[in-house]
Amino acid sequence: MLAWVLLFLPPVSSAQRSEPVFSSITKSILPPNYENNPTQLNYGVAVTDVDGDGDLEVFVAGYNGPNLVLKYIQDQKRLVNIAVDNRSSPFYALRDRQGNAIGVTACDIDGDGREEIYVLNTNNAFSGRATYSDKLFKFRNGRFEDLLNDDINEHRDVANRMAGRSVACVDRKGTGRYAIYIANYASGNVGPHALIEMDELASDLSQGVIALSNVAEEAGVNKFTGGRGVVVGPILNQILPDVFCDNEYGPNFLFRNNGDGTFTDVAQQAGVEDPMQHGRGVALADFNRDGRTDIVYGNWNGPHRLFMQLNNRRQKFKDIASQKFSMPSPVRTVIAADFDNDNELEVFFNNIAYRGPSANRLFRVSRREHGDPQIEELNVGEASEPEGRGTGAVATDFDGDGRLELLVSHGESAAQPLSVYKVLQGTSNSWLRVIPRTKFGAFARGAKVVVYTKKSGTHTRIIDGGSGYLCEMEPVAHFGLGKDVATGVEVYWPDGRSVVRLLEPSDLNSVLEIQYPRDVEVTPTAQTECGHGFALNEKGRCTDEDECTRYPFACPLDRPVCVNTYGSYRCRAKRRCNQGFEPSDDGSACVGQVAYFGGTRSFADRKWSGLCFWLLLPHVLRPGLL
C-alpha cells in the first residue's frame, strides 16, 4: 500500500528538499507603518552613505508615495526612515512625492568625496517625453538640493525629461568623477539613452557652481531603444568600465570602452544581442573564477541568460543557463552575491506576481575544475513571495555581522510594504568585505577587487555602480570564504592604478577600506601564498599558471588537446569541424559558431534568424509594465 502512495505523490524538486536559505525579519527590523515602511508602490533601491556618517543607508524610490531613506539603528536593531515629512530636515527634498520615481543610483559626480543621488522619475509616462524631470541631489548648504534645478543647468537644458528605466554610474575617463548613464525608453526618435556628467570647464567648484552636460552623443551611447537594465564594470576591458544594457523590443547593447571616454557597441560580435527577448534585471560576476567578467540577466517571460565569457577570440560569450535557470518568468531584479558565505555565488531572481503567482527563485552557481559551473536551484525559503509584486531588491549587510541581508521592494500592480530577509545558512563561514575609495575619498564604483585564497584561487568582485533592475547594490566587495583563508587583496581603479595588500589572519571577518594610491603602486613586502593553479610573478603577485606549457603531457591520449584556463586547464579530443562549426568545449562534438569578434555570424546561426522573427510576431506582448 505504501508503494502505491509513494508512486502517486508529486515529485519533490531539489530546491524543495534543500534547507531554506532566507527567513523573514521584516516584523522585527522594518515593521510596516506609515513613517518607515508605508504600504505604497515602490520601485528601485540603492545603497549609499546618505547622511555622511560612514554607514550605509538604503534609498527606496517611491512611485505613488515619498522616496524613503532607511538607516539601521544599531541599538534598536531597526531600520528607520530619516527622510521625514519635515521641511527643516536635511533629507526632506529626497522625498519628492511628485516624481513617480522608479530608478536610482548614487556616485560622486563632482569629486568632493560624497556621493550624489540620481533619481529617475517617470511622471506616469511609459515611453518618450515625460512632464517631470529627473533629480540629481547633492548635499550642500546643510541639506540635499537638486543640481538640475540650478540656474546654470536650467539654461543648459540638461535635465532628463524622458521616460527612462535603469540608471548607473560610470567613470568613463578614470578621473574619479562619475557620469550618470540613463537608459531611457524611447518612443520612435524621442528619448535616446543619456549620459550626464559635470562639465569641468564650465564649473566653479570654489563657488559651488556645478555645470552639467549630456555627453551621450560625444561618448557614442545616444541610441534609441526600449531601455531596461544597465550594468557597468570592466567586462571586455580588464580595468576600464564598459556598459551593458539589456533592452526591450530591440537588441542589447555592449558598449566597450575605447580608452578615451567613448564607447563602441560590440554586442553583436560578442553574441549577447538577444534581439528577440525583453531584458530586465542584470548583474556582473565571475562565476568560474577565471578572471573574466560574466553577465547574468533575466528576460521578461523569456529565457534567462547566464553568459560566461570565454578565452576565445571567435566566440566571446556562451550561455550556460540550465533549463531550470532559464525558465521564463515575469522577472524584475537579478542579484549575484554569496549570500551564505560558502565561497560560491548565488543568483537571486525577483519576480512580480503578474497575471498570477510567481515565486522568487535562488540558484547556486558553483565552479567546476574542468567544465562549466554547476547550477543548482536552492530553497529560497520565506523570500519566495509567490504573491509579491516585486519591483526591486538589494543585498547589503545592515547589522555588520558579515552576512548579507536581502531587501525587496514591491509595487506597480498593488501597494505592498518592503520586506527584509536574513540568511539562515553559513553562520560559521568566514568572510571579507572590501571598500575601495576614489582619489577624492568617495566609494570607487566600477573598481575591480580580487582576493587571493589558499585553497580556491582568486575571487573577483566589481564595486557596483548600478545593476539588478532600477537598482544599485552596496559599494562593497563582499567575499564569502567558507573554510578557506584569504591571503591577499588587490584593487584596480578605472584609471589603471592598483594596490596589493597582504592579509593577516586577523583581517578575516572584517571590513577593509582600501585608499587610492597617492604616489607609487603599492607592492607586497612579503611572499604571497597563491592558490592551486597560480604562481607568483616577478612583482610578487599571483598569476595564472599555464599548465599546458609547463606540463606538455598533462592530458591523456584519448583527449590530447590541452586548453589552459584561469587557475586550471582542461583536456579535449582532437576533432576537425566543417566551416561554420568548431569543437565543443569537451571536444566531443562540433557546434555552430554563433559569435565572432571582427566578423559576422555564421551560416549555422543566420539561417534561423527569419524563423525566430516569425515566431516572435504572434506572441509579442507589450508589457504595460515599468
Distance CA 249, CA 100 (A): 24
Return the pLDDT at 157: 87
Find where cell 568548431 sits. Answer: 582
Comparing C-alpha atoms, which of 502, 512, 505 is closest to residue 402?
512
Residue 445 makes CB contacts below 8 A (sequence gap 6+) with 107, 169, 171, 178, 232, 463, 464, 465, 475
Q: What is the pLDDT of residues 491-538, one digit of tens each?
A: 999 999 999 999 999 999 999 999 999 875 444 434 455 566 666 665
78-81 and 581-583: which strand pairing? Answer: unpaired
Q: Is 177 helix (H, G, I), strand (E, B) or coil?
A: coil
Mean pLDDT score, 361-374: 94
Contact 306, 325 (CB under 8 A): yes
593 or 293: which leads in pLDDT: 293
Q: Could you tell me what percent of the chain has a pLDDT over 70? A: 84
Specify the pLDDT at position 532: 61
Instruction: Output the CATH code of domain 22-436.
Output: 2.130.10.10
For residue range 132-182, list pLDDT tens digits in order.
889 999 999 999 999 999 999 999 988 877 777 889 999 999 999 999 999
Sketch the domain layout of the chain as residue ranges: 22-436, 530-578
Q: How far apart are CA 105 and CA 462, in angstroms?
A: 16
DSSP classification of residue 236 = S
Query: Mean pLDDT over residues 197-205, rounded?
Result: 96
| 286 has a pLDDT exceeding 90 | yes
Round to whole Å and give the CA distance between 491 and 475. Answer: 13
Run of H or E including 27: helix 26-29
The whole model's pTM is what?
0.85
State the average pLDDT over residues 318-333. Answer: 97
Per-residue pLDDT tens digits for 77-89? 999 999 999 999 9
Beta strands across the sheet bearing 143-146? 101-107, 116-121, 135-140, 143-146
Phi-psi region of 249 (alpha: psi -120 to 50; beta: other; left: phi over 0): left
pLDDT(53) > 90 = yes
C-alpha cell at 429: 563561514
